[in-house]
Amino acid sequence: MWQQMICVVLVLISPLITLSPDAPTLFTPGDHGDAVSPAFTPDGNTVYFMRGTDQGASVMSSRRVNGKWAAPVVAPFSGHWRDGDPSMAPDGSFLVFASNRPATNDGQPIDAVRNGKVFKGQGMNLWRVDRKGDGWSEPVRLPDAVNTCNSTFAPSIAQDGSIYYIGCAPDGVLRPLHTAYENGRYTAPYVVAVGDKQAQIRDVAIAPDRSFMVFSIKLDPRQPYRLAISFHTAQNWSEPQDLGDAVNGGTHSMGSQLGCDHRTLYYSSDRATPSDGSAPAAKGDDHIWRISLLPWLEAHGETAPTVPATCTTG
């Protein structure tokens, strides 16, 4: 049976074998510590990301000055609760992140429930901070219509303000969801139908114009999460296309995010780091990697996204 399932996986997310993309390169904002889910400001000179701490996790930020990334610091809206998965609006006007912080001022940290078992303080809801000058507003929890359960995470924001994220579908299964932003309100989400319904999909990175998305996917629970890309068509979303072994490595490839140029993919993996002294070869740690999506966009006939004039990558 398991051989048949693996065959199904290969059919559902068949790699573009004609592509020869460059190998991914390591991205280390400020230092070489464990880092996940980078989210960039529109100019590419400030990055927010998740890092494990004594409290569980915090959203960190690092700024590039004279071509070098400064040592990361805890973001002003983070540091007390278990925060992570930051995602920047394409215009930089707001940021959405996941947190276990209490839903009300007098509440308790959010618990997670898995298979009927309660995990204290390990739940997640989505929160938003708006840009206020050089800083951020106080975090505001997104409405219950968006936070459909206590396992709501991995947001990605499109140009129209809508959010793609992972949350509880009506059948109770964690699936990719989409909530529109209309008249200053988030609408009830719907399930994003991509790939086989039995596939586990996580960490969607949506293109600002919603023309394509990259995500982690697996069908067999014993297989690693692998990155795949899907394109929006008149019939909804195309079948996922695996990004290949050059991109996927280690025991997982997760935390998809697009850079400010909308064509560079950043993601997290525990794959081996370079042995040339440029980074430590710490086993078990996730590091941030990057790869250009241009080979897949061009192969699909997509026009390469226009790079904002203020965007600096690297």
- Are 228 and 212 in contact, with CB atoms under 8 Å apart? no
List the CATH number of the domain containing 205. Answer: 2.120.10.30
Give residue-wise pLDDT tens across range 113-136: 877 788 888 899 999 999 999 899
CA of 218: how far to CAs of 7, 23, 25, 225, in Å? 12, 22, 24, 5
Give residue-wise pLDDT tens across range 42-79: 999 999 999 886 667 999 999 999 888 999 999 999 99
- Are 83 and 61 in contact, with CB atoms under 8 Å apart? no
- Does 304 map to a domain? no
- Does 309 map to a domain? no
The burial of 53, by beta-carbon neighbours within 10 Å (0-12 exposed, 13-18 middle, 19 or more buried), is given as: middle
- Does 69 map to a domain? yes
Give the count of domains, the chain. 1
Query: Three-state DSSP class for 314?
Result: coil
- Does 314 map to a domain? no
- Does 21 map to a domain? yes
| Largest distance between two CA atoms of the chain | 57
Give residue-wise pLDDT tens across range 200-234: 999 999 999 999 999 999 988 888 999 999 999 88
Residue 294 has a pLDDT of 94
Locus of tokens 């909308």? 262
Residue 131 has a pLDDT of 95
Residue 54 has a pLDDT of 63
Residue ranges making up the domain that contains 155 = 2-299
**Of 188, 187, 140, 141, residue with least CA distance to 168:** 188
Give residue-wise pLDDT tens across range 187-203: 999 999 998 888 999 99
- Does 267 map to a domain? yes
Residue 33 has a pLDDT of 59
- Does 305 map to a domain? no
- Does 313 map to a domain? no
- Are 125 and 145 in contact, with CB atoms under 8 Å apart? no
pLDDT band at 20 (very low <50, low <70, confident <90, very high): low
Give residue-wise pLDDT tens across range 239-278: 999 999 989 988 889 999 999 999 999 999 888 776 544 4
Alpha carbons within 13 A on the beta-carbon side of 199: 26
